[in-house]
Structure 1
Amino acid sequence: MVMSSESNGQSAGAGALLAILRDGRPRTRGELAQLTGLSRSTVSQRLDGLIAGSWVVAADDSISSGGRPAAVFAFNEGARVVLAADLGATRARLAVLDLGLTVLAERSAELRVDRGPEPTLEWVATAFCELLADTGHDLEQVCGVGVGLPGPVEHASGRPVNPPIMPGWDGFDVPGWLGARLGAPVLADNDVNIMALGEHWAAGPDVDHLIFIKIGTGIGCGIISGGVLHRGAQGAAGDIGHIRVPASEAPCQCGNTGCLEAVAGGASMAAQLRAAGIEAHGSRDVVALMRAGDLRATRLVRQAGREVGTVLAAIVNFFNPSLIVIGGAVAEAGEQVLAGVRETIYSRSLPLATQHLGIRSSRLGDRAGIVGAAVMVVDHALTPATIDRTTAL
């Protein structure tokens, strides 16, 4: 569709050209003029600004209509880099990515988030600098930092809000603290939200309604509606781990009893195995035992899938997603957990809601969080308004 420069104002600025080119297809000045409604001379001027900022490069290909070949221009995925951190309850994964979301370097480590914000983020800042050095980049080339946290986050401020497994983090200014050390804008969100963004990117633009479920130490849900992440009024949307499960009085860290997380989370399953005399400290131990053939662990994982499926069945009837993606450490159990989820959803949800519903494991696996954090940063940093300000054209 052609955009009119007169009716769309800044939407046909340099940022609009970049938005068009971000789909990866090189285009000529003439094609960009046709798509934006701008004159060829204006397109050339704005392309000059994008090239000067390294956002756009002249592509190798050229298009000939019988005369002199027309130059083509493409989005420069290497113009800047993004730093992404996915912090879980007991483990952290960090990465440096380019603007095309290719991972250039990454690191994972055991890191308990309950050690507090400053020690945790100090480690993150140091590790980021080391990863940048490994890729031959420096902080000047960073366009933004994305951080996923294992608890409720007020996205507008990036501050955790009463996170039950993150003592000392309530109200902590994560973007301010980390941004001061890295010299780049910082965006923070709930870890499940960024995973949902990553899986939506992996699923492709045809999937507009997606539910991502993380089953790890705890349980959370990310919601993509109409192609956009739904955070809710205060950023608490999708906190299904604290929906009450019928006929359960299991105590939860949030202070209530019978929460889904307290029944089907990895920490709960590990505790049940320890009570039976089996050594297990967390989600990954539960999955390892299941893979080794332990019947108790296998039954627990299958039942966890059923319990999650019971809650999801109500969500399927209410939201009618086209795809449910299961991720997190427990999702590594594969068909055992998926079978439990599918069994309950298909038996309890309306036929119309499940007619074309897909239910599968994460495609990105452990990388869902870092890819999603990068998606969040890139979408923020490359908005047409932001690019217009940086190019001033």
Structure 2
Amino acid sequence: MSSSESSPESSSPTLAVTGAGELLQLLRDETPRTRAELAKLTGLARSTVGARVDALLATGLLAPSGEAASTGGRPPVQFAFNPQARVVVGADLGATHGRVALTDLGGKPIGEVAEDVDISAGPDLVLDWLTSRTQRLLDDAGRDASQLIGIGIGLPGPVEHSTGRPMRPPIMPGWDRYDVPAHIRRHFDVPVLVDNDVNIMALGEHATAHPGVEHLLFVKVATGIGAGIINGGVLHRGAVGAAGDLGHVATPHAADVLCTCGNRGCLEAVASGSAISKQLKEIGLDAATSTDIVELARGGNGPAADAIRRAGRTIGEVLATCVSLLNPSVIVIGGSLGLAEGNLIAGVREVVYGRSLPLATGALQIVPAATGEQAGVIGAATMVIQHALTADRVDLAVARRSASSASAS
């Protein structure tokens, strides 16, 4: 029987599995299974399954996981995906902060560091900070750089994902078209994936809090405003990676307000943390950052709470259009200003539920982010994991290991 034929003894539907990489996809749920169970699930001959399992064991991506109950004779060995086999680095670089996490292949954090970092200091200083913190995390975890499978980075501006280069980012002087992956690979010879910070936060929130949701919209409200779109369970970046640029959608309540992008009337110009900070400063309140604004509101400051609620309503007007166009089942509100959920989300809900059609909002949830400050690093790591553990790339890793073993012998 060839490896692609179905076992005649199997009466249950089988999965389309051919190579070791596809077998690993089946096992990534970390449920232990025996060779016999895998043969039944895939329809492959037991000898073929055995060869695939052995190849994955050699890479470390699969590991023995106890024994199944015996039906007579020696209990069969179970195998499961081994998330400890390699490590991943996820980095979230904001306008004024940097957070780097070392995770396993399941996205579980092993170590993390967060510090104040000024993105306007330029790519050399910021990326050198990132590589030094990556090395520290590896050292602290007792991991060698050879165990690092990739590095994911989120940046606070537009990014051409295919090249990892920022594209005319308004708050990142000196970064335009800078080759971020090449800089990192001077220190770590691994794949380096770069995306804008909102996209990676959407990935992190989806993977952690809403893994079964097919259509999700993640909205970050902080110094700026942006959105990450999960469509059909997959991050939607658009033709050139510009999808989700919510902050520069025109809003009717800001026709004369100048935005940092050079246009007038952008949502970000009236409803972002920086916009609210200006509004509060005009009435004598000192709130330089989104965190300051949230603390004022939590402390019972009426003008701050009102400003956040108004921002929520304005954001809701734009999101009502997004609901009509994209029909998400979940809208997640995150970012530093999103921490003022009682005021911001109330404003968003008020307008979205009032303006969108009942068919689109009947089951729509508008909820605060569950991952908090870790959304970015979890999402950046998830981006790398999704890239590195595709069936084709696992098959390539298996083939390279096999070739290396053959040449060594």
Provide TM-score, normalisation by structure 2. Answer: 0.92
Aligned residue in 2 for 1:157: 163
> C-alpha distance in 2, partners of 1:23/1:367?
22
Aligned residue in 2 for 1:316: 323
Aligned residue in 2 for 1:281: 288
In structure 2, the gaps of 5 or more residues are 7-13, 403-409
**Which of 312, 336, 350 is the equivalent residue of 2:357?**
350
Aligned residue in 2 for 1:330: 337
Q: CA deviation at 1:57?
A: 0.5
Aligned residue in 1 for 2:407: none
> C-alpha distance in 2, partners of 1:47/1:23?
16
Provide TM-score, normalisation by structure 1. Answer: 0.96
- Paired amino acid for 2:380: A
Q: CA deviation at 1:67?
A: 3.5
Aligned residue in 2 for 1:49: 55
Structure 2 residue 366 is the aligned partner of structure 1 residue 340:
no
**Which of 82, 91, 96 is the equivalent residue of 1:85?**
91
- CA shift digits 1:113-159 (9 cap, x unpaired): 11111111010110111111111112111000000011111111111
Aligned residue in 2 for 1:359: 366
The answer as to whether partners of 1:11 and 1:384 remain within 8 angstroms in 2 is no
Change in 2 beyond 3 A, CA 1:6/1:194: farther
- CA shift digits 1:274-300 (9 cap, x unpaired): 222222211111111111111111111
Aligned residue in 2 for 1:5: 4
- CA shift digits 1:175-210 (9 cap, x unpaired): 111122122110000110011111111234421000
Aligned residue in 1 for 2:175: 169
Structure 2 residue 154 is the aligned partner of structure 1 residue 148:
yes
> C-alpha distance in 2, partners of 1:90/1:352?
41
Is 23-32 or 337-346 further displaced after alignment?
Answer: 23-32
> C-alpha distance in 2, partners of 1:5/1:143?
30
- Matched positions, count: 390
What pairs with 1:197-236 in structure 2 (closer than 5 Å)? 197-236=203-242
- Paired amino acid for 1:378: I
Is 58-67 or 172-181 further displaced after alignment?
Answer: 58-67
> C-alpha distance in 2, partners of 1:253/1:138?
43
> C-alpha distance in 1, partners of 2:320/2:364?
12
The answer as to whether partners of 2:67 and 2:76 remain within 8 angstroms in 1 is no
- Paired amino acid for 1:14: A
**Which of 126, 129, 141 is the equivalent residue of 1:123?**
129
> C-alpha distance in 2, partners of 1:5/1:179?
39
Q: CA deviation at 1:24?
A: 1.4
Aligned residue in 2 for 1:255: 262
> C-alpha distance in 1, partners of 2:22/2:139?
33
Q: CA deviation at 1:376?
A: 0.6
Q: CA deviation at 1:11?
A: 5.2
Structure 2 residue 128 is the aligned partner of structure 1 residue 139:
no
- Paired amino acid for 1:291: R
Q: CA deviation at 1:68?
A: 2.6
Query: How many percent identity over aligned positions?
Result: 53
> C-alpha distance in 1, partners of 2:150/2:207?
18
Please give the secondary structure, in 1, of the residue aligned with 2:223: coil
> C-alpha distance in 1, partners of 2:168/2:69?
57
Q: Aligned-pair RMSD on alpha carbons?
A: 1.7
Q: CA deviation at 1:6?
A: 6.2
In structure 1, the gaps of 5 or more residues are none
The answer as to whether partners of 1:284 and 1:329 remain within 8 angstroms in 2 is yes
Determine which structure has more spread, i.e. the larger CA radius of gyration. Answer: 2
> C-alpha distance in 2, partners of 1:37/1:163?
51
